Amino acid sequence: MLKLKISKEISPIYFWDIDPLRLDAEGSKRLIIDRVFKMGTAKEIMLILNYYGEEEVGEVLKKQNYIDPKTLNFVSRLLHIPLKAFKCYSRQRLNRPLWNS
């Protein structure tokens, strides 16, 4: 398996709240995938897909409690996963916003 290098291949700025050098590629898989897909570049996203595989990335993202609408649509189209398969899509908000955006 490839070695995932946070400081060289993936920007450590996505992990502002923890020490990026202490991240374990398997133990921190959910955090790494989530942050790179929300804030990463196309190159970093492809690196994550090559490292974990499309199926594993899809399973992790489908279980997320929240993914912003733009990222959710991107992931759905990229991985060919219907929107309804995502937990965050099917959950209703407890506090609905006062405006539509």
- Does 99 map to a domain? no
Structurally, the chain folds into a number of domains equal to 1
- By the 8 A CB rule, do 61 and 67 touch? yes
Give the residue with greater pLDDT, 86 vs 21: 86
Residue span of the structural domain in which 73 resides: 21-90
Grade residue 89 by pLDDT with cuts at 50, 70 and 90: confident
Q: Which of 22, 26, 23, 52 has its CA nearest to residue 37? A: 52
Q: Which two tokens stand for residue 74?
A: 């991107």
pTM of the model: 0.81
Going by pLDDT thresholds of 50, 70 and 90, the confidence category of residue 10 is confident
**Token pair listed for 46:** 């492809």
User: Is 11 inside any structural domain?
Assistant: no
Say if 101 falls within a structural domain: no
Residue 71 lies in a domain: yes
Q: What is the mean pLDDT of residues 37-66?
A: 94
Phi-psi region of 53 (alpha: psi -120 to 50; beta: other; left: phi over 0): left
pLDDT category at 71 given cuts 50, 70, 90 is very high
With respect to residue 16, please indicate whether it lies within any of the assigned structural domains.
no
Residue 10 resides in a domain:
no
Residue type, 44: E
Tokens coding 99: 């405006």
Whether 72 has a pLDDT exceeding 70, the answer reads yes
